[in-house]
Amino acid sequence: MAHPKRYKEKRWIHLRLAVLKRDKFQCQECKRKGETTDADTVHHCDPDALDLFYDMGNLISLCNACHNSMHDRITDELTERGKKWLLRLRRGQIPRIKIL
Distance between CA atoms of residues 67 and 27, nearest Å = 9
pLDDT of residue 100 exceeding 50:
no
Beta strand spans in 1-100 (E)? 41-44, 59-62, 71-72, 77-78
For the four alpha carbons of 48, 53, 58 and 64, in that order, the dihedral sign comes to: positive
Instruction: State pLDDT tens for residues 15-72.
Output: 999 999 999 999 999 998 999 999 999 999 999 888 999 999 899 999 999 999 999 9
Q: In terms of pTM, does the model score above 0.75?
A: yes
> Coil, strand or helix: which one is 77?
strand
